[in-house]
Amino acid sequence: MYKTSTEANVIVGSSLSAKLLMDSLSHFDNLSFSGLSIFDGLNLILEKGNLPKTVFIETNLVLRPENTQFKEDLFSPIPFYTKKLIPAFRDGQQPMAVFGHYLEKNVTQNILTKFESIKNSTDKPLVSALSPALFEKMLSNEIQNYSVIPQEKLIQERFEKLNTIINYLNSKKVDIVFFEMPIHERLCHSPVSNVVRSSFYQYFSKKKYYYITQPSCADYQTTDGLHFNSADALRYTSYFKSQVQKYLSR
């Protein structure tokens, strides 16, 4: 069972936001999953009776649709109530999952202890563990994908769906904060990135909603054009945390 606390701040996003190191973000839940969209995370929030105080929404992959199979598997009556009544069947509670979480938490903590030396370094982290040729091929594919603007109808459908959800959350006194993850600098101002960014400002005015400023994409390295390497996952998590504190101290 995925859960959100009444005191929690919740992040919804894609595999990009799943790279955030949550051990350094107290009072946060991260409902960002590899291969899924912000709508999958938002569906989880809407299913809960107790809503979070603030929802932080990644803007990068808003055009990705929800995964209906994921929702059906999670909330169909038999598995839903099995997980609700029997803790051992809940995601993260199965023996192997618990062991995996233990390993992940301890590895992440070890990485975090090295962060002070990384964040103050003037040297850029290693670009990628991939060979340069493979990295360039993956980046080239993403550049091609980001050069083709989707049909206006699709863009409108996604943003109207998001607008409906956000209006509901607003009616329940849930605050909304948007953030855009840094990606490769050759994608950062691509046709798709630009139209998504402008659509957010059109539907969700900066006068009404808070946006965490996207840091310079040139300062971040990715493994494939989109996803952070380990060092920059740490770097952006620290930046995100500082911006959250700035937001909360307004």
pLDDT tens digit string along 203-249? 999 999 999 999 999 999 999 999 999 999 999 999 999 999 999 89
Q: How confident is the model at residue 163 (pLDDT cuts 50, 70, 90)?
A: very high
Domain membership flag for residue 106: yes
Residue 69, pLDDT score? 86
Domain membership flag for residue 2: no
φ and ψ at residue 104, rounded to 5 degrees: -60, -45
Out of 54-63, 71-80, 171-180, 219-228, pick the least confident: 71-80
Domain membership flag for residue 35: yes
Domain membership flag for residue 187: yes
Residue 49, pLDDT score? 73
Residue 71, pLDDT score? 72
Domain membership flag for residue 3: no
Q: Tell me the pLDDT tens digit for each residue of 3-49.
A: 544 458 999 999 999 999 999 898 999 999 999 999 999 999 998 77
Residue 72, pLDDT score? 78
Domain membership flag for residue 144: yes
What pTM was estimated for this model as a whole? Answer: 0.78
Domain membership flag for residue 60: yes
Q: Give the H/E segment covering residue 247.
A: helix 230-248
Q: Which domain holds residue 87?
A: 9-248
Residues 6+ apart with CB under 8 A from 14: 32, 33, 34, 36, 37, 38, 58, 60, 61, 64
CATH code of the domain containing 221: 3.40.50
Domain membership flag for residue 4: no
**Strands, DSSP E only, in the chain?**
9-13, 28-32, 54-58, 175-179, 210-212
Q: Is the pLDDT of residue 130 over 60?
A: yes
Of the candidates 144, 203, 216, the one whose C-alpha atom is nearest the C-alpha of residue 176 is 203
Total domains, the chain = 1
Residue 100, pLDDT score? 44
The Cα 119–Cα 150 span in angstroms is 37
